Amino acid sequence: MPAAHSIHRLTRPNFPENVALMKLDLEFVRAQFPAFAEASLKGQAFFENAGGSYTCAPVIDRLTRYYRARKVQPYSAYDASRIAGEEMDEARTRLAAMLGVETDELSFGPSTTQNVYVLAQAFREYLSAGDAIVVTNQDHEANAGAWRRLESAGVEVREWLIDPVSSTGGRNTLIFYQRWSVEHEVSSSHLLFGFAAG
């Protein structure tokens, strides 16, 4: 691993002069993923979601250590269990800091699919017939399906059709939503957006 990465000043219109941007070192990034050195995978591109993507070496190393030395019930008195609990707490603390949230606002689960399903079922208790949930036509089934199943409880599911050319996103999303909500007579008192990063 290189000792340091150089920071290059990139010029952009209307970009503050005193802001330095890092140039992405693709060779360094690629070197972190053992799959890129795997002969059987040469010459292929993988456009997977997070759950189906290749993993970087530090994660593989941490998981290997877990399966060899920490795959026990955490938080007990013996060393492997105590250390497993400490490492789980460390992961929660680090991820919360990275996301800018409190540790009790972060939930770990077996998969995004399962987490979204549990969340949708939890919201089901608070939704009434006539309430609306918005999903998009670009959602993965693991996200949209959990919300769409709430139709059986009388919840209205509305599909936000994302323009495949412009992808209507980023800072235009709010403007687009405001227009969309007027066109679809949406009141903010009964609307839930269901989405997942993935």
pLDDT by residue for the chain (198 residues), tens digit each?
Answer: 344 444 444 444 454 565 567 788 999 999 999 998 999 998 888 877 667 788 899 999 999 999 999 999 999 999 999 999 999 999 999 999 998 999 998 888 888 888 889 989 998 888 888 888 888 877 778 788 898 999 998 888 888 777 667 665 544 444 455 555 555 555 544 455 555 444
Range of the domain at 168: 112-193
The verdict on 187 and 118 lying in the same domain is yes
Q: Domain for residue 157, yes or no?
A: yes
CA nearest neighbour of 87 among 114, 57, 66: 66
Q: Domain for residue 90, yes or no?
A: no
Q: How far apart are the C-alpha atoms of 69 and 12, rounded to whole Å? A: 49
Query: Residue 66: CA atoms inside 13 Å, Cβ hemisphere, count?
Result: 14
Of 27, 54, 81, which one is at a domain's C-terminal end?
54
Residue 75 token pair: 């938080």
Q: Domain for residue 104, yes or no?
A: no
| CATH code for the domain in which residue 179 is found | 3.40.50.2300
Q: Domain for residue 71, yes or no?
A: no
Q: Domain for residue 59, yes or no?
A: no
Q: Domain for residue 170, yes or no?
A: yes
Q: Domain for residue 66, yes or no?
A: no
> Dihedral angle at the C-alpha atoms of 7, 11, 14, 17, nearest 10 degrees?
50
> Count of domains in the chain?
2
For the chain, the helix, strand and coil percentages under 3-state DSSP, each to the nearest 5:
50, 10, 45
Q: How far apart are the C-alpha atoms of 127 and 147, rounded to whole Å? A: 12
